[in-house]
Amino acid sequence: MDREPTETPDVVLTAQVKARALDLGFAKVGIARAEPLAPEGDWLRSYVEEGRHASMQWLADTAEVRADPTHARMVPRARSVIVVALPYARTEPPSGPSPARIARYAQGRDYHNVVRRRLRKLEKWLRGLGHDSRWSVDARPVLERAWAVRAGIGFVGKNCCLIVPGIGSHVFLGTVITTAELVVDEPMPSRCGRCTLCLDACPTRAFVGPNELDARRCISYLTIEHDGPIASELREGMGEWLFGCDVCQDVCPFNGALAAGRMPRLVDDDDVEPFAPDPRHARAVSEALTMDDEAFAAWTASTPLSRSGRVRIARNAAIVLGNRGERRHLPVLQEAARSHDDETVRDAAAWAVEELRRRGES
Ligand code: B12
Ligand code: SF4
Ligand code: SF4
């Protein structure tokens, strides 16, 4: 639904917003008109109606708010949505004896804090000028990828990820919804063309079609968000992923900057690189299976891994060890199958023991 602007867009303020966002370390910034999202809201509704949101009930509960930045729960008089992208990926692979595969976005510090700190500054400045404004990164009910397309900072690939040409898809997104009337950018159309590399590469066949993901089959969902046992038929496809999954991004030709070591690096005021790989991740997967709450907290504090909790990570570790098929892990898996304090982990470890036996016999 198009709405007429109430005022002339403020060209000077728009330039100031963009300059400030770049100063804060964001690699891209764009602006979209704040209005109910159509057809993107309908795509979200279909996703929920078809159950593709899996157990993420919070997505279903907030679907109407997500589709409209002027919703009473957001910024009712909003005129503009400022969208930013912050690159995170580095080229270094994790080192260590037999480290777990952790998705690139989770290799460093918890991005929520890193992005939020910067967005708050932008929000506070706009509020100081009298514009009601609200930042969001990930956790608030905002369809961030849809806004990023509308604000022209990238396009959504067939793998559902927002791709910034020249940088790729390894970027975090954030928004500030504001009553300021800003000059809007042109939306960016898809550049995937006939490519289908990501759809073909997904190990668990989680795509029901281009741009359409079934979270119930996605390794990222299964390893991070899903509670309880993981369906047996999906375990082998999980391969070595302990937390998240990057397969559909790793095959994407638009991620060439990462392969070539040309990703912009973020350095904080205190000279810390928040997204540099955390040395705590260079641990053997078997440790993740056996840790207690204290060891888990020491490992994952201020990283995205803390979100999943010890039990899900231990469950994932058992499946990874089953998929590795190395007999040296049999004792630790047998012990976990017998005596781990959580039933889901005992079940995953028992499956892994069977896998090792099966592979040993074949
Ligand atoms: C729920 C969620 C998940 C779920 C579900 C993801 C999904 N695709 O449905 C799970 C746990 C699986 C997940 C996984 C990942 N996530 Co996530 N996730 C979210 C969250 C919180 C909500 C997304 C959502 O509303 N999903 C519902 C679907 C329907 O919406 P959508 O994916 O945003 O897609 C919209 C547009 O793409 C649009 N669209 C645009 N063009 C087209 C064209 C057509 C034809 C169609 C049909 C649709 C379409 O349709 C959708 C609805 O409008 C957002 C943060 C946020 N508040 O937006 C982060 C977010 C999307 N995730 C992020 C990341 C980093 C990831 C992972 C890469 C992490 C990892 N490495 O493991 C993977 C990527 C998996 C993938 N291929 O999508 C980033 C994405 C950055 C980027 N460059 O795209 C976000 C934006 C967080 C952030 N603030 O940076 N995620
Ligand atoms: S994140 Fe992994 S499992 Fe999920 S859609 Fe992409 S390739 Fe498939
Ligand atoms: S792999 Fe190909 S189809 Fe998939 S997002 Fe990248 S360019 Fe698009």
Q: What is the pLDDT of residues 29-69, one digit of tens each?
A: 999 999 999 999 999 999 999 999 999 999 999 999 999 99
Nearest to 169 by CA among 189, 148, 140: 148
Q: What are the pLDDT digits (tens) for 108-166?
A: 999 999 999 999 999 999 999 999 999 999 989 999 999 999 999 999 999 999 999 99
- Position 222 pLDDT exceeds 60: yes
Amino acid 307: pLDDT: 87
Query: Ligand 1 pocket, 47 CB below 6 A?
Result: yes
Residues in the ligand 3 pocket, defined by CB under 6 Å: 157-159, 192, 195-198, 251-254
Nearest CA owner, ligand 2 atom 8? 202
Amino acid 360: pLDDT: 80
- Position 7 pLDDT exceeds 80: no
Structure token digits, residue 263: 């990703």
Query: If you average pLDDT over residues 197-212, what whole number do you get?
Result: 98
Q: Which H helix or E strand runs over 113?
A: helix 111-128
H helix and E strand count, the chain: 16, 10
Amino acid at 127: R
Chain-centroid distance, C-alpha 72:
27
Cα 196 to ligand 3 centre (Å): 6
Query: If you average pLDDT over residues 282-288, what whole number do you get?
Result: 88
User: Which residue among 53, 208, 220 is best mutated to probe the pocket of ligand 2, counting the most ligand atoms within 8 A of its Cβ?
Assistant: 220
Q: What are the pLDDT digits (tens) for 293-312?
A: 999 999 999 999 998 999 99
- Position 93 pLDDT exceeds 60: no
- Residue 2: which pLDDT band, with cuts at 50, 70 and 90? very low
pTM: 0.96
- Residue 1: which pLDDT band, with cuts at 50, 70 and 90? very low
- Position 262 pLDDT exceeds 90: no
Nearest CA owner, ligand 3 atom 2? 195
Cα 206 to ligand 3 centre (Å): 15
- Residue 277: which pLDDT band, with cuts at 50, 70 and 90? confident
Q: What are the pLDDT digits (tens) for 306-351?
A: 989 999 999 999 999 999 999 999 999 999 999 999 999 999 999 9
Cα 133 to ligand 2 centre (Å): 34
Nearest to 148 by CA among 133, 134, 165, 131: 165
User: Which residue among 53, 156, 219 is best mutated to probe the pocket of ligand 2, counting the most ligand atoms within 8 A of its Cβ?
Assistant: 219
- Position 362 pLDDT exceeds 70: no
Query: Ligand 1 pocket, 84 CB below 6 A?
Result: no
**Domains located in the chain, CATH noted:** 11-90+103-178 (3.40.109), 204-238+283-361 (no CATH)
- Is there a contact between 183 and 11 (Cβ–Cβ < 8 Å)? yes
Cα 206 to ligand 2 centre (Å): 6
Query: Ligand 2 pocket, 173 CB below 6 A?
Result: no
Within 8 A by CB and 6+ apart from 169, the residues are: 157, 159, 161, 162, 163, 249, 252, 254, 255
Catalytic positions, written as ranges: 138
Cα 278 to ligand 2 centre (Å): 23
Nearest CA owner, ligand 3 atom 7? 192
Nearest to 151 by CA among 164, 140, 141, 160: 164
Nearest CA owner, ligand 3 atom 1? 252
Q: What is the number of the ligand closest to the CA of 172?
A: 1
Amino acid 69: pLDDT: 97
- By CB atoms closer than 10 A (0-12, 13-18, 19+), residue 336 is buried
Cα 12 to ligand 1 centre (Å): 33
Nearest CA owner, ligand 2 atom 4? 218
